Structures are given as C-alpha cells and as structure tokens.
Chain A
Amino acid sequence: MSQQPTTRQEYNITAYTENHIGLLNRIAIIFSRRKINIESLNTSPSEIEGIHRFNIVITETEEVVRTISRQIEKQVEVLKVYFNTNDEVIWQEMALYKVPTDVIAERALVERLLRENGARAVVIRKDYTVFETTGHRQETDNLIRVLQPFGLIEFVRSARIAIIKASDGFHLKLNEFEEAEPGDEVIENEYLNDRDGVFAM
C-alpha cells in the first residue's frame, strides 16, 4: 500500500465501547503486539449512559492507525472506532503544579507568570500551593519551564481528552446498534465510502 501516506503524526483514536472488565487489556495489547507506545489513554463515560469512551493518542502513519482502529473495532465489546488528526479534534490536557508557597508570596513576578499562562490556584497552604492549567501540550509544558526556577516540587499531567469536530454524537447510531437488522447508518462501509474515485474504467 505504498500509495498511502507514510508520514507519522499524532492521531486521536476514539472508541465507543461497552463497559466490560478486560476490554482495556484487549485494546492495549493491540498496540503492544506491534510495539507501539500509547502516548495518552483516557477512559470516561460518553454522551450515552452505559457506553464508555476511550481516547487514545499515538504517533503513527495513517495506514497503521487505520489497521489498528479496525482491529480495535473488531473486539466484541467495541461499538465504533474513529481516528482523527489533531486538526480534526478539539483537545485538552490538564496539568497540576506544586510549588513552595513562600516563593509565590515573595515574588509578584510568579503570580504574573501564572496569570499569563492561564493557571489558577487549586490549593493554597502555608508550605505549598497547587496550580492547575488546562490546554494543549505546548501550554502545559511551557508552565513547567516557567515554574522550574522557583522550585517546582511536583508535576502531573492528565491524559488527553478530545471531541471530534465533525461528529454528530453517537445517540442515533446506538439506536441502530440495538436492532438486529441495522440500517446503513451502522454498517458503514468505509472502504467504499472512501473510494468513489478508485474504480475508473
């Protein structure tokens, strides 16, 4: 499939699944058997009660991401998988920073820097203060660099969560999944949908 793009970039994989013990492992081993590092993984409820949503970030070629997405979707408890580039999603990560309170209190500069970086204090104690910021990787990374000189005690960043720009939600699809004989809406044939132009006589 050499005609496919082979450049590696970040992809956001979104999987709608049943809430099933062991499914996390079944999904994880699809990556590990190919020795692909999962850069970020988040599981959460979705817009529909009882349906879970995985957000997984990997850096790979489109060809590999497509194959993996299909293999995830093939798992019995997985309803649907989408994969998107960063441009196609709205995404955020959250980070927490613990710094000594006395440094903050002494220097007005720190407070200004925090404000500039969109951070807010979550906890202020005598000995330390915890700040939180939410944004893209670049922004949360930036604040590490800013706080490092002032004695950053602890740092943690969450997994990425992402909303697909083009998605109409999953509610309508789910109704179709419930039926034994679903319509075209559910049985999407992406191979043909993508290929209107390939068959030229």
Chain B
Amino acid sequence: MSTQALPLLDAPVATTREISGAEVLLRGLLAEGVDTIFGYPGGAILPIYDALYDFKEQLNHVLVRHEQGGIHAGQGYARASGKVGVVFATSGPGATNLVTGLADAQIDSTPLVCITGQVFAHLLGSDAFQETDVINITAPVTKWNYQVTEASEISDILAKAFYIARSGRPGPVLIDITKNAQLDKIAFAGYQPCTHIRSYRPAPVVRPEAVAQAAALINQAQRPLVLWGQGVVLGGAEREFQAFIEKSGIPAAWTILGAGVLPSNHPLNVGMLGMHGNYGPNVLTNECDVLIAIGMRFDDRVTGRLDKYARQAQVIHLDIDPTEIDKNVAATVPVWGDCKQTLPMLTRLVAPRTHPAWRERFVPFQNAEVDAVIREALFPTSAELTMGEVIQQLNELTKGEAILVTDVGQHQMVTCRYARLNQSRRHITSGGLGTMGFALPAAIGAKFGMPDTTVVAIIGDGGVQMTIQELGTLMQTGIAVKIIVLNNQFLGMVRQWQELFSERRYSFVNIQSPDYVAVARGYRIEGQSVSDRAELRPALHAMLVHPGSFMLEVMVAQEQNIFPMVPQGCSVSEIRLK
C-alpha cells in the first residue's frame, strides 16, 4: 500500500479533562476513521466496553458469537472495503480464539488491528484468572504486537498499530492492554497519527534501473506471461495493472487472491493459476520465455513442484516485500517496490505489442478444458446438481456485481474457477491458510464493509458447521447476507484426495448435516433447500431478492471431483484434466 493511501484523519481531539486509557483508545479509533468494531466482551476488557457505552453512536460495535467469528468478520470487512479491520476480545480464551484469524490475516496480508484485554499489570506472570501470554502466542502470526501496561502508552501505540497494519505489505497487529492501563486516567493532549518508524521501511525506494532492465527483458520476449496476485489489489493498482497489460499485450493469469483485477471476460485474462487452476496458464508457465510475477509470492499451490517450475523462463518479480523475492523462485530481475509506483514506470518503457501467435497457444488448452471439464460442470447433463452450475446460475443473476465469500474446499475451487468477476475485492476467500469456517463470519464483515453491495457466502457442509453460530450475529444485527451451502454430504476435497491417492479409503470424510433450514429458522433467518435442477434458479432468485439474510442449501452430487488438478509433487505442466 502506498503512503498516499493514508486516510485524512480528524484533527487531534484535544481535551482538557483527564480521561481513562479506555476512552483514549476509542478516541484514537475515531481519529483513525474507524466506524465498525467486531468484538466480544469479557472481564479483562470491561473498562473498554464501559467506555464504548458512551461511543455507541459513533462506533458500531458488532457483537459476534465467538472471537474467531469476530476476527474473520474483521478480515472480511478489511478485504471488502480496503480499510483496516478492528477486533476486540478479552484476555485468555478470548485472545487465544483470535489466533486462527491472525494466522489467516498474516498469510493473506490483511490489515487488522486487534485489541485484547489483559489482566492487571501487577498480576502478569502469576497465572491469574484468564491470563495468557498473548504476546508470545501471537508473535509468529502478527506483523507486530505490543503489550500496553500504562494508559499513557495507548495513544502512540494505537497510532503505530494502524500505521504498521496498513502500510507496506499489510498485516495483522495485536495490542494487548492490561486492565489498569484501560482504567487509569491521564491528561489526553490529542491523537497523533504515526507516519514514520525509523526501524520500519514500508515503501522501498524504487531503482529506475531495475524497471529499465525489466522493460528491456519484456521488450525482447517472444512468449511472456504475467502472473498477478493480491499485491495489485493491496496496492490499489488495478488501473495501473490493466494499463500495463493492455499496452504490453501480455496474457495474464491470476492467483486466487488476485481474482478480479482484470475482469473475467478481459481478452488478456487467461485464467487461474495453481493446483485447480486453468489448463493453459499452468502448462504454458513451463513454455513462456519471460515470467512476470506481480504482487504474488509463488505459493506451493501455485507452483507445484519447484524444480520443474518455469526453469526455461527468465523471471521478473515485482513485490513490495523483499523477503518474497528469491524465496521460492529466483528472480532474474527483481523490482522491489510498491506496484502502484513500479507498474506505471514499467508501462512507460514497454513497447506496445499484441503477441498474436503466443496468445493463440492458449486456445487449444482452453478448448480442451471446456470439453473435458467446464461444459459438464456448468451445464451438466447428469441428473445430479453440480457446484459449477450453482455458480453459473449465480453469475447470470448477479452479473458479477455481488461480493462472493468462500470457505475452503471443493466449493471454493469451483467458485474461484467459475465466478465471473467485474472487479477486484469481489471474491473473498481464505487463501494461504485455508481456514474452514472463514466464510460465514467473513461475509458478515464484508457486508458491514460494503453495505450497499450484495454479499453471498458460498460454503461447504463441512465449513459451515465450524462457525454456524455466527447466524446469531446475523439475527441480531439484521443485516442481509445470502448463504449458499453446497451440501455434498462429504468433506469433499479430502474425499477427493482419498479417492485419487488412497484407493477410495474414505476415512472420516462423510459428515452429517443438521436440517439447515430449521437451524436458520431457529435464528429467524429464512431458508430453503433444493435438490432439483428446476428449483435451483428460482431459489437463487428468491434468495437474492429476499430483503434479509437467507440460507439456501443446495444438495449437489456427492462424489464429484475438481479438475483440472496438479497432483502434489507434480509439475504444473503435468496438470490432469481427469
């Protein structure tokens, strides 16, 4: 994220009276432009909640049903809106319940500021009630964390937290505040946002010679291929990216977190990378002569076997995070910097090209994939419903304008593959960590972040049962989230692996579901269950036009596999169509 992305803050809120650390915190959040907090109260964070009582009008606190739901909601809010997600939790179990969401946000570079309560400072280390060493537990899964033990620290630490969370490669930050620091009163001079930490360099100085080398390599290339990732979204560089692609005429493929930067129907968008990505970009990764990676980190689900990955290609790697360069794939030309800045520099230097012969190479692969996989997935001739046709029908009804939020597993890969997206931030999913249970709470957060956009959560029957308690949050807040449960009565992705690689030894993958419609009704949410093709389209339509939240269960084929697939330990060019 560029430094220009810093929001304009209110003038420091000066006050002459002494206020509590808790109030300092809330005034700081307001100064940072926070409007929504996802949280759950408890003993050690009571003073903050007491102060929140007086800020109800300015700060919308969403009471979740579990702290994991709270942090996933914060992630969904941040991913949909581009703002920093704010999460409150109490000490001990409240804080440990955040760990999964922190790890998810860390690996998917999501800006969060999490506030946890902590026992009184004089009790630290005494195994006090609900005391946990949150700082050390969360150190590996936060970009930065800090324990505040005095009220006077709160304002500066909060400012640092927001600066660190949103700048450079974004990430989650946790502030642990002891109860005495929340209670103690201090004279508050006003909130000063942080713009500089001497030991922290979020925005590297771009070397023009690196960009020039990259451009020279691109201008020489006969078969260049662009891989883009979420870095383009986090940098807010969608337009800069599109301009680069359209001038250079280079076919471009995406990681699942980068989806939507080029619209699905853009002629230079050649599809999804990785284990269940499209046939053409995977195979042709091993035929391109110059590989241009932009804001992506060569995750193993994208690269497959590394020693057989793009060995023939010269690699240009644009990234803001220097630890990503050379980590998995050695770069011939590294361009270290914010792509919002480096992409326009590159665009100026590249020659206008169209690469007709090279782009033609993708067509037979695309045709083969349509014949072998896509046609039957989207327009099935079988009696049973497919996950793909649900997404296809949804595409036709939403016209790519809805925010889709997916969980983890087969339904996620189907959505990634078949959702038609017109823009970025329209598909929110747990990418790096693969957190089942992510989608429902993240969809709630996304709706708070983008209240005027339709939000559809697409979840498997496994994942929905992990965080189904957040239906209570939907009930209480009254917001409208559309939930599609794609029920194949299996933990589908694990079953697929057991079918393909363990001789169908189905070990604990058949999972029973409750009556989802009855569960939804119990939370006063409308619901429907469909299993016939004729019912699907009307049910989806009814779901979308319903004014409130809606839970639609779709019974889909039990044993369907997701193809193409790059089997583990294989090269991307060994991708299987069946």
Contacts and interface: CB of A to CB of B under 8 A. Distances in A.
A138 interface: no
Main secondary structure, interface of A, reads: loop
A73 B140 CA distance: 15
Nearest to A30: B140
Interface in B178-210: 195-201, 204-205, 207, 209-210
A162 to B, nearest CB: 21
Contacts of A158: none
A171 B323 CA distance: 25
Interface in A47-81: 66-67, 70-71, 73-74, 76-79
Given A29-B139, A191-B331, A201 B220 contact: yes
B323 A184 contact: no
A187 B216 CA distance: 24
B201 A186 contact: yes
Contacts of A26: 139
Nearest to B197: A76
Contact of A199 (B143, B196, B332): B332
Given A76-B164, A192-B334, A18 B323 contact: no
B327 interface: yes
Given A178-B198, A192-B210, A1 B330 contact: yes
Given A3-B330, A184-B205, A79 B199 contact: yes
Given A26-B139, A191-B331, A192-B209, A76 B323 contact: no
Contacts of B143: 76
A82 interface: no
Interface in B284-337: 307, 321-323, 325-327, 330-334, 336
B136 interface: yes
A167 interface: no
A7 interface: no
Interface string B194-233: 0111111100110101100100110010000000000000
A199 B333 contact: yes
A17 interface: yes
A70 B139 contact: no
A177 interface: yes
A73 B325 CA distance: 14
Given A3-B330, A76-B164, A201-B216, A191 B307 contact: no
A74 B197 CA distance: 13
Contacts of A187: 201, 204-205
Given A191-B334, A199-B217, A71 B140 contact: no
A3 B135 CA distance: 39
A30 B136 CA distance: 13
B145 interface: yes
A33 B106 CA distance: 15
A189 B334 CA distance: 10
Given A25-B136, A33-B140, A76-B143, A198 B205 contact: no
Contacts of A192: 207, 209-210, 334
A66 B330 CA distance: 13
B341 to A, nearest CB: 13
B144 interface: yes
Contacts of B323: 67, 70-71, 74
Contacts of B147: 21-22
A77 B200 CA distance: 7
Contacts of A1: 326, 330
A74 B321 contact: yes
B204 A189 contact: yes
A22 B135 contact: yes
Contacts of B201: 182, 186-187
A26 to B, nearest CB: 5
Given A187-B205, A199-B332, A180 B140 contact: no
Contacts of A191: 322, 325-326, 331, 334, 336
Contacts of A77: 199-200
A2 interface: yes
Interface string A181-199: 0101011010110010011
Contacts of A21: 147
A201 B213 CA distance: 10
B359 to A, nearest CB: 24
B135 A78 contact: no
A184 to B, nearest CB: 7
A199 B330 contact: no
A3 B332 CA distance: 12
Given A70-B323, A199-B332, A79 B136 contact: no
B144 A177 contact: no
A104 to B, nearest CB: 44
A145 B327 CA distance: 43
Nearest to A2: B307
Nearest to A175: B198
Nearest to A78: B199
Interface in A143-201: 174, 177-178, 180, 182, 184, 186-187, 189, 191-192, 195, 198-199, 201
Contact of B322 (A22, A74, A178): A74
A199 B213 contact: yes
Interface in A1-42: 1-4, 17-18, 21-22, 25-26, 29, 33
A22 B333 contact: no
A188 B205 CA distance: 9
B207 A189 contact: yes
A70 B201 CA distance: 13
Contact of A180 (B196, B332, B333, B334): B196
A14 to B, nearest CB: 15
B235 to A, nearest CB: 18
Contacts of B204: 187, 189
A25 B137 CA distance: 10
A70 B332 contact: no
Interface in B497-556: none
B139 A22 contact: yes
Interface string B418-448: 0000000000000000000000000000000
Contact of A189 (B136, B200, B331, B336): B336
B319 to A, nearest CB: 11
A189 B325 CA distance: 11
A201 to B, nearest CB: 7
Given A79-B198, A191-B334, A25 B327 contact: no
Interface of B: 135-136, 139-140, 143-147, 164, 195-201, 204-205, 207, 209-210, 213, 216-217, 220, 307, 321-323, 325-327, 330-334, 336
Top 7 A-B pairs ranked by shortest CB distance?
Answer: A187-B205, A191-B334, A1-B330, A177-B198, A70-B323, A79-B199, A180-B196
15 contacts: A22-B146, A70-B323, A73-B322, A74-B322, A74-B323, A76-B164, A79-B198, A178-B198, A180-B195, A182-B205, A189-B207, A189-B336, A192-B207, A195-B334, A199-B217
Given A26-B139, A201-B220, 5 more contacts: A22-B146, A189-B204, A189-B207, A198-B332, A199-B333
